[in-house]
Amino acid sequence: MSRNLMAHSCFCLIFSLKLEKAILEEAKREKNPFLVGLYASFQSRDHFCLAMDYCPGGDLKTYLNVSSFPKETAVFYSGCIVLGLQFLHERNIIHRDIKPPNILLDSDGYARIADFGMAKKTAGYDGTATTDCGTLPYMAPEIFRSRFYTKSVDWWALGILIYKMLLNKSCHLSGLDLDKAFPVKSGSSLIDMVRSQLLITT
């Protein structure tokens, strides 16, 4: 790796850490119950450490490894995530990595968004980003197409996450027939919610 590339990588990492720390600090300062907040931070010669709010309930991935969620549980967690995303988006921040391991459960059972390592601060409410990042099953099509994208990529990821919570399987969108993808037991209100998040434009 060239010296210039190494310097650029280090700069990007430092910038990302500073943004993550700033988001965690604001979540704590504003006492937002749907984001993990910062408890303390410190650094050594080789490490930068962030001590965050303790969420003893673990992450959604742990539970989804066992089974899907009842409709009421999926609705509740989805509502928590929506409120957390609204907080970020009002501050022109795109999370860009909404997925089960990044949703933690606190001591009261509320879902809280964590891991802001891929977050992006945009210029204005309709600001865009171009970096190809995220976790494959949850990435919106515009990221793959190397297009400018907005906060809408977080809503796409939430739609995929809702599908995962309800059916406990990945949502493969290639050739997907939305009329057949959701069993009746999921409930029409949740089907409509997921469909609205997974709107595909060509």
Strand, helix or coil for residue 146: coil
97 as an active site residue: the answer is yes
Which helix (H) or strand (E) is 105 found in, with range?
strand 103-105
Calculate ∠ Cα 105-110-111, nearest 5°. Answer: 55
Selection from 112, 114, 158 nearest residue 137 by Cα: 158
Q: Which of 59, 97, 115, 154 is catalytic?
A: 97
150: its two tokens: 């907005």
Q: Are 76 and 103 in contact (CB under 8 A)?
A: no
Which residues participate in catalysis according to the annotation?
97
